């Protein structure tokens, strides 16, 4: 499932994207997050983007298109992704169409979160106050002045995408002024209508193991598969949820390897479906075992 979340700053795209990550097992690709990471790391892209972002402007199209193209190629995006904050201009949308075509991928839906502009300012003020309370660093572009500029750039450069995707029959508009869980429900209904399903094995194993597991550490759900985590993959899992994820990954890999070997011996290609089924069965077993411990 490949989805675009469209909406002005403060419309709740980030919040909804994170909820969708947990529900559908797909990744959130936020160009804003990636750019902030590049700024923090002082990479050439970060140096280019820093001032533009702080003033509420848009980073050049070629920079963000390049970032997204590379990110879509990562293995964790294979299951699907939610684009949050991209595309933001018609040329970016055209570039996305082109690169999805090259990669033989299909865009399933564009979800627009429609909000009342006057409410956005107070939403951002609340977010800043909450972050301050938690002692978190405040974004340089989370000020009323910069927000006004970001809203103007949304109106002028991003809103035309509503027409762009509506013409292509991809657009679903949802009232973003509803409570968070109501918005989540409305998005879910749209996605179900499009044929989206929650991955069964994942939903079962995570809910069972999560019920048994000790409360996860704050932020654990946000943990991404990085090189670092790959290195520490042999360490004991912190929660049943993590164990389940690792089990699925490990067993799938092992099953594929075995199937390849068998197929090689038989002089045939490994049957894809049975490999998947086998991996799922094996994963369930391991998940159950680990959750029991």
Least distance (Å) from ligand AMP to the CB of residue 36?
7
Roughly how many angstroms between the first and final C-alpha of the chain, as a whole number?
A: 34
According to CB under 6 A, which one of 28, 31, 251, 287 is a site residue for ligand AMP?
31
Least distance (Å) from ligand AMP to the CB of residue 41?
15
CA pair distance 217, 239, nearest whole angstrom: 9
- Which residues from 1-30 bind ligand AMP, rule CB under 6 A? 9
> Pick the catalytic residue: 48, 114, 123, 127?
127
- Structural contact between residues 116 and 62, judged by C-beta atoms closer than 8 angstroms: no
**Count of residues near ligand AMP by CB under 6 A:** 17
Q: What DSSP assignment string belongs to 14-78?
A: HHHHHHHHHHH--EEEEHHHHHHHHHHHT-HHHHHHHHHHHHT----HHHHHHHHHHHHTSGGGT
Write the CB contacts of 12 (distance below 8 Å, at least 6 apart in sequence).
Answer: 113, 115, 176, 180, 183
CA pair distance 115, 123, nearest whole angstrom: 11
- 3-class state of residue 216 by DSSP: coil
Give the C-alpha distances (Å, rounded to integers) separating 212 from 146, 159, 209, 234.
45, 45, 5, 22
The question of whether 88 is a catalytic residue gets the answer yes
Residue whose CB is less far from ligand AMP, 64 or 183: 64
Question: Binding mask 40-69 vs ligand AMP (x if CB under 6 A, - otherwise)?
Answer: ------------xx--xxxx----x-----
Give the interface segment with ligand AMP, choosing from 40-48, 80-88, 107-115, 242-250 (CB under 6 A).
80-88
DSSP-assigned beta bridge partners for residue 6: 112
Residue whose CB is less far from ligand AMP, 31 or 206: 31
Give the interface segment with ligand AMP, choosing from 84-92, 169-177, 190-198, 238-246 (CB under 6 A).
84-92
Least distance (Å) from ligand AMP to the CB of residue 43?
15
The question of whether 134 is a catalytic residue gets the answer no
The question of whether 13 is a catalytic residue gets the answer yes
- Structural contact between residues 201 and 280, judged by C-beta atoms closer than 8 angstroms: yes
Residue whose CB is less far from ligand AMP, 9 or 12: 9
Least distance (Å) from ligand AMP to the CB of residue 97?
15
- Structural contact between residues 127 and 142, judged by C-beta atoms closer than 8 angstroms: yes
> Pick the catalytic residue: 36, 50, 71, 88?
88
Give the interface segment with ligand AMP, choosing from 20-28, 86-94, 105-113, 183-191 (CB under 6 A).
86-94
By the rule CB under 6 A, 112 interacts with ligand AMP: no
Q: Which residue's structure tokens are 């529900």? A: 23
- Helix axis angle for 240-266 and 272-292, nearest 10°, is 150
The question of whether 276 is a catalytic residue gets the answer no
The question of whether 78 is a catalytic residue gets the answer no
Q: What is the dihedral of CA 128, 131, 228, 245, to 10 degrees?
A: -100
According to CB under 6 A, which one of 32, 161, 239, 290 is a site residue for ligand AMP?
32
Query: In this structure, what token pair is assigned to residue 190?
Result: 């749209």
> Pick the catalytic residue: 2, 50, 71, 150?
150
Least distance (Å) from ligand AMP to the CB of residue 289?
41
Residue ranges that bind ligand AMP, judged by CB under 6 A: 9, 31-32, 35, 52-53, 56-59, 64, 85-86, 88, 92, 141, 150
């Amino acid at each position: 499932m490949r989805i675009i979340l469209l909406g002005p700053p403060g419309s709740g795209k980030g919040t909804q994207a994170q909820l969708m990550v947990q529900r559908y097992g797909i990744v959130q690709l936020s160009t804003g997050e990636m750019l902030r990471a590049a700024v923090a790391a002082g990479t050439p892209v970060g140096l280019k983007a820093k001032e533009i972002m702080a003033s509420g402007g848009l980073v050049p199209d070629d920079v963000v298109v390049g970032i997204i193209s590379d990110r879509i190629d990562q293995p964790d995006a294979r299951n699907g992704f939610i684009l949050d904050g991209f595309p933001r201009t018609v040329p970016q949308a055209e570039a996305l169409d082109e690169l999805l075509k090259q990669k033989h991928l299909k865009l399933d839906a564009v979800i627009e979160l429609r909000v009342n502009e006057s409410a956005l300012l107070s939403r951002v003020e609340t977010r800043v106050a909450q972050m301050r309370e938690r002692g978190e660093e405040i974004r340089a572009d989370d000020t009323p002045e910069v927000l006004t500029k970001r809203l103007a750039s949304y109106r002028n450069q991003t809103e035309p995408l509503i027409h762009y995707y509506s013409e292509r029959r991809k657009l679903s508009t949802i009232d973003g002024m509803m409570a968070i869980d109501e918005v989540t429900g409305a998005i879910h209904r749209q996605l179900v209508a499009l044929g989206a399903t929650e991955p069964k094995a994942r939903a079962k194993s995570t809910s069972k193991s999560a019920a048994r597991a000790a409360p996860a550490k704050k932020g654990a759900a946000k943990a991404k598969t990085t090189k670092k985590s790959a290195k520490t993959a042999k360490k004991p899992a912190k929660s049943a949820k993590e164990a389940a994820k690792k089990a699925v990954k490990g067993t799938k890999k092992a099953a594929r390897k075995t199937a390849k070997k068998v197929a090689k011996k038989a002089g045939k290609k490994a049957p894809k479906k049975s490999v998947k089924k086998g991996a799922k069965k094996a994963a369930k077993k391991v998940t159950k075992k680990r959750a029991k411990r």
